[in-house]
Amino acid sequence: MARVSQAHLDARRRQILDGAALCFARNGFHATSMQDVLKETDLSAGAVYRYFSGKDELIGAIVGEVLDVLRKTYEGAAVETPPPLPDVLVPRALRQLREVRPGLLESGEWVFPRLMIQVWGEILRNAELARIVQAGYDRVRAAWARVVESYKSAGLISADADADAMARVMIALAQGYAAQLAVIGDLPPGTLAEGLRALMSMRDPRSAG
């Protein structure tokens, strides 16, 4: 029997995850069956179950990948000299996520924001998914904290700035923007960068003089 290459195995796994993501974004986790995933991927049950035991494992794998993309983006930014400011970095992270996971629904809507909204609700009832999200979130938060430390080293922010607090706020901002994409629809290009730039330009007149 011919040996299956790792590239083939990776491609098949990718096919399954992308197909499942489309199904979940289209109809939600609970309204999607494994039969829907099989139909979307045009694969047999044996081919799919070779990689994933069921919907929960598929959801966890999709979430883990997304958080890993974000973590790598922020870790890369932390070693740049100078590190990119938030008005560059946050849009970059979302853009890179869209490049790596570009799946679109038939309407042209990007699947990631819809999946994110569903994950938030699902973790309230799914302890294993909550654990995956928490672990991934902690890694993203740590990567953002390293970016903040790079800002300090470059003299871009105060040396006593709370790196963890800033990391949490920047993650919340990206999450909120993605939630708007899911609920309201596509926003004008540059909205996130322009809004961040405006916030960063604010000065407290009480501190003048």
- The pLDDT, as a whole number, for residue 206 is 80
Q: Which amino acid is at 106?
A: E
Q: Which of 103-107, 145-149, 169-173, 185-189 has the lowest mean pLDDT?
A: 185-189
As a whole number, the mean pLDDT across the chain is: 93
Mention every residue, 6+ apart, whose C-beta is less than 8 A from residue 9: none
DSSP state of 110: B
pLDDT of residue 178 exceeding 80: yes
- The pLDDT, as a whole number, for residue 1 is 46
Torsion angle in degrees (nearest 10) through CA of 116, 16, 39, 94 = 30
pTM above 0.85, yes or no: yes
Q: Which of 51-60, 121-130, 182-191 has the lowest mean pLDDT?
A: 182-191
